């Protein structure tokens, strides 16, 4: 059966089942609380002490219920709050009563790190029972804010509104006052408003959380069970208008290269731009940026893969991070987890990435290459209407980029990236209070000529998605169907067909063939998931959860112009089930037991993988956490490992992982994890260990040092090269021994809650060494040794970094391949002083250093990581130092 038809059939069958189930269930919930506010009478001085007469017009409310660790019981310390409002602001007063004020933990950290004791309010001003705005205030004055979506299953800390707060400690505990501009919230224009609210308090020394509106953990939901805020009347519509121009002064210092006109040892530049927000309506916001600068953003972690798959890096740039929940379109997102979960229809890191083309130069030439594609400007229009429509539109234009080549003083320009437009449109509709959601997305990439044989001229993708939940939102079905179309020259489309993600040229691909005359490709895919996330607890508070589903990628599906896709031509089935104990029992705070299994086919019907997993996790009453798990892949075939010749059967394996996390309430605590994998028949081995130490010597200073080491060994099947021999393709493989070492240091020092100094540094060393070469003779043989023909008796020898192969042993070289050994050494660091001298206005002082030296001189040393490799990472003569000062000023209406 066609996979797309199969997906539709499954969706129809389960929808029928859920409709029947809905008619047989009732909706029982905990009583919903409410609080009635008043318009402010008088003035409030925001000093953290709610002593003004204005506060007397409303009563304190409290009676919090413990949520963790002893759910349903009274908290150890009571909490009270009040709420007032005027035409511009919402005011909240907190009284966090504590009999032992000297025990209050006043740790500080960066914004959105939520250190020590804190109190938090979640506001569902849309009153859609799915989304909320969260404002967290620590006793030390550190603010945290998040946009809550998917009924509490997604908390986006990249949302950074402007709001005001103060705290105060006295003999009764601590108090706080918060002032939130209505312009930072989204709400309808009804005269008499009702909003959803939840207030949560954390007592750090006990790691206790208590809530104003009790929401049982077994409910599996959050926003839909909030209490209600009433009494808001005649609030004017506040259209947010913010303009933030910036100026950046930058100086780069690096090693001068004699004769290279592009490496004089010192560069400097002055740039400027502007960011802004404009509320088209109170629900819908236009964000824009012109000539954005992300120089203060922390560098990506170093990463090397030798399996052919592309690296995935998290988005760190503020413009693309804020409101990204609306544009998020994960193809799968399974509870079982898998490589397919990284696939995205929109991957913002494609915008402003490094150029696609790097020109070749002669020995006497020098190259000046742009590191990234410049973003001329970007705008996004996003928000949610009172009627439940979520809207997101993003457009970005990147500059035409050229490299400059110098040939003895004569310079020429070479195009490395054409002018490109990126577009994303997203629409969702809530039905029945968010219990049912339908949505769609469309993306487009259009390039303005140039590099036509390398890049697609146009790339489009889109999808439809649905979500439905019932029985108190504890059962759900969700899914999507997607498509893609790429257009370009015959050469560009041929490159796509033969690219690593597709590999139409495989001789064993029964349903695929390269067509060099094609100028477009059209692919489809989809995901269906069915599961249970909550419900009634069994004995001892045990809760059963599960999810099962299938996800598809057709052979022609291509998303990597604006999305992220590891590979096409796959049908994956997954199932996850678990018993969870969210409440404290015996000596546990909580515990979980999980089971997973996965199966995989390609579109020709070939069975490719069968794997099983069991894992367990627990937190003890002393706040230590442990976990362990085991996975076995009993059968595994890869269509990609040999880079386009044939598929190959990989050795089965069994793996084990374990971790322990000591009590993070202590000033010194640690996290340790280990991972081991063994291939059946002594065919592969992987060992990895991670250790992180955290130290909080004082309230304002936090340090961490993480170290990881891994050893990867494959006996024979590591891909090396595809070469031509007697009009056929020989796939060369080998043994590989790969050592990887990484250290990461972080320091955060808070001079005040709004003035912080941060340091990040990471040396990284990766060294794979190849040996015992062979060619693939029977890739699907059941016996591992029958899959390869090892070179022996003088069939291969190395000459000046090139391996020469004489299969006939007649003294004539039949073919050659390059020595694949390499070293990758890198050190990256970032020192940032950030001062929010006025709400929303910031001053950055940055020093960053990047060092990626040529470390191949050590290739002939021992197999492991040598001392000289480590020394190379800190070779300051090869380092590039960037000094940057960025000033922004935010104008608010």
pTM for the full model? 0.90
Q: How many CB atoms lie within 10 A of CB 523?
A: 21
- Higher-confidence residue: 323 or 55? 55
Q: Which residue has the tokens 């469309």?
A: 442
Summarised one tens digit per residue, pLDDT across range 22-44 is: 333 334 468 999 999 999 998 99
**Residue of 762, 786, 764, 766 lying closest to 774 (CA atoms):** 786
For residue 491, report the phi and psi dihedrals to the nearest 5 degrees. -65, -45
Considering only CA atoms, give the Rg of the chain. 29
Per-residue model confidence (pLDDT) at position 283: 80
Summarised one tens digit per residue, pLDDT across range 70-111 is: 999 999 999 999 999 999 999 999 999 999 999 999 999 989
CA 831 to chain centre: 23
Summarised one tens digit per residue, pLDDT across range 790-849 is: 998 889 999 998 999 999 889 999 999 999 999 999 999 999 999 999 998 999 999 999
Per-residue pLDDT at 138 exceeds 80: yes
Q: How many CB atoms lie within 10 A of CB 635?
A: 14
**Of the given ranges (288-297, 575-584, 699-708), which has the lowest mean pLDDT?**
288-297
Summarised one tens digit per residue, pLDDT across range 447-466 is: 998 899 999 999 999 999 99
Average pLDDT score, the chain: 92
Say which residues have a Cβ less than 8 Å from residue 504's Cβ, sequence separation at least 6. Answer: 497, 498, 512, 513, 514, 555
Per-residue pLDDT at 869 exceeds 80: no
Summarised one tens digit per residue, pLDDT across range 592-637 is: 999 999 999 999 999 999 999 999 999 999 999 999 999 999 999 9
Distances (CA, A) of 716 to 193, 328, 737, 785: 68, 40, 11, 9
Tell me the average pLDDT across 691-696: 97
Instruction: Give the pairing type, strands 375-384 and 241-253.
Output: unpaired
The answer to whether residues 706 and 741 touch, using CB atoms and an 8 Å cutoff, is no
Q: What angle do CA 77, 83, 85 make, to 5 degrees?
A: 160
Say which residues have a Cβ less than 8 Å from residue 320's Cβ, sequence separation at least 6. Answer: 348, 351
Question: Three-class SS of residue 272?
Answer: strand
Per-residue model confidence (pLDDT) at position 723: 96
Instruction: Give the pairing type, strands 410-417 and 375-384.
Output: unpaired
Cα dihedral across residues 291, 296, 302, 305: positive or negative:
negative
The answer to whether residues 394 and 424 touch, using CB atoms and an 8 Å cutoff, is yes
Per-residue model confidence (pLDDT) at position 23: 36
Summarised one tens digit per residue, pLDDT across range 631-670 is: 999 999 999 999 999 999 999 999 999 999 999 999 999 9
Per-residue model confidence (pLDDT) at position 7: 44
Per-residue model confidence (pLDDT) at position 863: 64
Alpha-carbon distance 866 to 873, whole Å?
Answer: 12
**Residue of 773, 890, 802 lying closest to 842 (CA atoms):** 890
- Give percent of the chain above pLDDT 70: 95
**Residue of 163, 177, 136 lying closest to 52 (CA atoms):** 177
The answer to whether residues 123 and 195 touch, using CB atoms and an 8 Å cutoff, is yes
Q: Which DSSP letter does residue 308 get?
A: S
Q: How many CA atoms lie within 13 A of 868 on its CB side?
A: 11
Q: Which helix (H) or strand (E) holds 92?
A: strand 89-97
Both tokens assigned to 621:
């009453």
Distances (CA, A) of 598 to 525, 610, 733: 18, 6, 28
Both tokens assigned to 609:
């993988």
Say which residues have a Cβ less than 8 Å from residue 75's Cβ, sequence separation at least 6. Answer: 64, 65, 66, 201, 203, 208, 210
Per-residue model confidence (pLDDT) at position 29: 63
**Residue of 304, 234, 205 lying closest to 39 (CA atoms):** 234
Summarised one tens digit per residue, pLDDT across range 330-354 is: 999 999 999 999 999 999 999 999 9
Alpha-carbon distance 841 to 822, whole Å?
Answer: 46
Tell me the average pLDDT across 389-412: 94
Question: Three-class SS of residue 875?
Answer: coil
Summarised one tens digit per residue, pLDDT across range 273-316 is: 999 999 888 788 899 999 988 877 888 888 899 999 999 999 98
Alpha-carbon distance 406 to 365, whole Å?
Answer: 6
Summarised one tens digit per residue, pLDDT across range 147-162 is: 998 899 889 888 889 9
The answer to whether residues 68 and 589 touch, using CB atoms and an 8 Å cutoff, is yes
Per-residue model confidence (pLDDT) at position 535: 79
**Residue of 521, 614, 619 lying closest to 575 (CA atoms):** 614
The answer to whether residues 858 and 866 touch, using CB atoms and an 8 Å cutoff, is yes
Alpha-carbon distance 37 to 228, whole Å?
Answer: 11
- Give percent of the chain above pLDDT 90: 78
Q: Which residue has the tokens 């009732």?
A: 26
Q: Which residue has the tokens 């040939």?
A: 407
Per-residue model confidence (pLDDT) at position 19: 38
Q: What angle do CA 713, 714, 717 make, to 5 degrees?
A: 160
**Residue of 593, 630, 600 lying closest to 613 (CA atoms):** 630
Q: What angle do CA 196, 34, 139 make, to 5 degrees?
A: 70
Per the DSSP assignment, residues forming a β-bridge with 687 are 676, 711
Per-residue model confidence (pLDDT) at position 458: 97
Q: How confident is the model at residue 18 (pLDDT cuts 50, 70, 90)?
A: very low
The answer to whether residues 651 and 717 touch, using CB atoms and an 8 Å cutoff, is yes
State the burial class of residue 818 (Cβ atoms within 10 Å of its Cβ: 0-12, 13-18, 19+).
exposed
Q: Which helix (H) or strand (E) holds 528?
A: strand 520-532
The answer to whether residues 719 and 736 touch, using CB atoms and an 8 Å cutoff, is no
Alpha-carbon distance 127 to 196, whole Å?
Answer: 6
Q: Can you give the length of the chain in residues?
A: 893
Question: Three-class SS of residue 190?
Answer: coil
Per-residue model confidence (pLDDT) at position 509: 92
Beta-strand runs (E) in 118-172: 118-124, 132-138, 143-149, 154-156, 164-170
Compute, in degrees rounded to 10, the torsion defined by CA atoms 771, 774, 778, 783. -50
Q: Which residue has the tokens 């049982």?
A: 216
Alpha-carbon distance 200 to 213, whole Å?
Answer: 9
Domains assigned to the chain: 1-29+323-362+370-536 (no CATH), 31-233 (2.60.40.1190)
Alpha-carbon distance 310 to 567, whole Å?
Answer: 10
Question: Three-class SS of residue 494?
Answer: helix
Alpha-carbon distance 118 to 204, whole Å?
Answer: 8
Per-residue model confidence (pLDDT) at position 386: 79
């Amino acid at each position: 059966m066609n996979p797309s038809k199969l997906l539709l059939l499954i969706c129809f069958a389960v929808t029928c089942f859920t409709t029947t189930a809905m008619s047989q269930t009732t909706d029982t919930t905990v009583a919903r609380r409410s609080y009635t506010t008043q318009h402010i009478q008088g003035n409030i001085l925001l000093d953290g002490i709610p002593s003004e007469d204005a506060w007397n017009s409303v009563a304190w409310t409290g009676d919090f219920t413990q949520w963790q660790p002893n759910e349903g019981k009274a908290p150890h310390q009571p909490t009270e709050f009040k709420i007032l409002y005027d035409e511009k602001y919402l005011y909240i007063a907190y009284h966090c009563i504590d009999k032992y004020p000297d025990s209050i933990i006043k740790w500080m950290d960066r914004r959105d790190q939520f250190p020590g004791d804190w109190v938090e309010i979640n506001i569902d001003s849309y009153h859609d029972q799915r989304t909320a705005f969260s404002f967290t205030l620590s006793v030390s004055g550190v603010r945290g804010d998040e946009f809550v979506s998917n009924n509490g299953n997604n908390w986006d800390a990249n949302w950074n509104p402007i709001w005001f707060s103060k705290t105060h400690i006295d003999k009764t505990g601590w108090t706080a006052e918060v002032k939130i501009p209505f312009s930072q919230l989204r709400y309808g224009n009804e005269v008499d408003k009702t909003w959803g609210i939840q207030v949560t308090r954390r007592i750090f020394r006990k790691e206790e959380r208590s809530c104003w509106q009790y929401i049982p953990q077994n409910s599996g939901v959050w926003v839909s069970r909030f209490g209600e805020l009433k009494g808001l009347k005649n609030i004017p519509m506040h259209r947010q208008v913010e303009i933030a121009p910036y100026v950046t002064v930058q100086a780069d210092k690096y090693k001068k290269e004699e004769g290279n006109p592009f490496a004089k040892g010192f560069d400097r530049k002055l740039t400027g731009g502007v960011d802004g927000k404009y509320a088209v309506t109170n629900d819908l916001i236009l964000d824009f940026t012109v000539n954005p600068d992300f120089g203060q953003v922390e560098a990506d972690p170093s990463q090397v893969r030798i399996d052919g798959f592309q690296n995935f890096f998290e988005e760190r740039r503020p413009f693309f991070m804020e409101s990204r929940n609306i544009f998020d379109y994960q193809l799968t997102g399974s509870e079982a987890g898998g490589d397919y979960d990284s696939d995205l229809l929109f991957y913002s890191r494609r915008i402003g990435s490094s150029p696609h083309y790097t020109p070749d130069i002669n020995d006497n030439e020098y190259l000046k290459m742009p590191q990234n594609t410049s973003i001329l400007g970007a705008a996004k229009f996003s928000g949610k209407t009172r009627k439940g429509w979520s809207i997101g539109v993003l457009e970005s234009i990147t500059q035409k980029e050229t490299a400059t080549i110098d040939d003895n003083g004569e310079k020429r320009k070479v195009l490395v990236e054409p002018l490109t437009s990126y577009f994303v449109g997203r629409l969702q509709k809530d039905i029945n209070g968010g219990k049912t959601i339908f949505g769609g997305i469309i993306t487009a990439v259009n390039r303005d000529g140039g590099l036509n044989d390398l890049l697609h001229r146009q790339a489009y993708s889109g999808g439809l998605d649905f979500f439905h939940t019932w029985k108190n939102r504890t059962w759900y079905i969700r899914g999507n169907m997607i498509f893609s179309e790429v257009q370009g020259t015959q050469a560009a489309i041929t490159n796509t067909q033969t690219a690593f993600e597709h590999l139409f040229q495989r001789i064993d691909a029964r349903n695929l063939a390269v067509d060099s005359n094609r100028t477009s490709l059209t692919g489809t895919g989809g995901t269906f998931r069915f599961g249970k996330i909550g419900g009634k607890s069994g004995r001892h508070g045990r809760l059963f959860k599960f999810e099962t589903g299938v996800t598809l990628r057709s052979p022609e599906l291509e998303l990597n112009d604006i999305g992220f896709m590891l590979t096409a031509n796959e049908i994956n089935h997954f199932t996850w089930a678990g018993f969870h104990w969210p409440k404290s029992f015996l000596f546990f705070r909580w515990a979980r037991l999980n089971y997973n299994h996965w199966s995989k086919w390609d579109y020709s019907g070939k069975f490719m993988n069968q794997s099983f997993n069991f894992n367990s996790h627990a937190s003890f009453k002393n706040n230590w956490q442990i976990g362990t798990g085991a996975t076995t892949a009993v059968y595994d075939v890869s269509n990609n490992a040999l880079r386009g010749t044939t598929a190959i059967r990989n050795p089965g394996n069994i793996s084990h992982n374990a971790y322990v996390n000591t009590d993070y309430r202590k000033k010194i605590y640690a996290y340790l994890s280990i991972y081991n994998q063994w291939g059946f028949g002594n065919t592969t081995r992987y060992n990895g260990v991670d250790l992180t130490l955290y130290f909080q010597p004082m309230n304002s200073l936090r340090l961490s040092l993480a170290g990881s080491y891994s050893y990867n060994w494959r006996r024979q099947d590591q891909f090396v090269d595809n070469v031509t021999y007697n009009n056929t393709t020989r796939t060369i493989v080998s043994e590989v021994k790969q050592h990887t070492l990484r250290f990461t240091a972080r320091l955060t020092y808070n001079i005040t809650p709004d003035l912080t100094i941060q340091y990040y540094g990471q040396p990284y060393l990766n060294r794979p060494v190849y040996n015992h070469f062979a060619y693939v003779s029977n890739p699907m043989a059941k016996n591992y040794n029958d899959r390869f023909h090892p070179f022996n008796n003088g069939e291969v020898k190395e000459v000046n970094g090139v391996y020469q192969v004489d299969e006939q042993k007649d003294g004539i070289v039949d073919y050659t391949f390059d020595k694949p050994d390499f070293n990758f050494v890198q050190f990256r660091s970032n020192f940032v002083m950030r001062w929010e001298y006025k709400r929303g206005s910031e001053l950055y002082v940055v020093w960053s250093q990047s060092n990626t030296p040529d470390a191949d001189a050590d290739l002939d040393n021992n197999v492991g990581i040598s001392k000289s490799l480590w020394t190379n990472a800190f070779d300051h003569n090869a380092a590039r130092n960037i000094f940057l000062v960025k000033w922004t000023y935010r104008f608010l209406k």
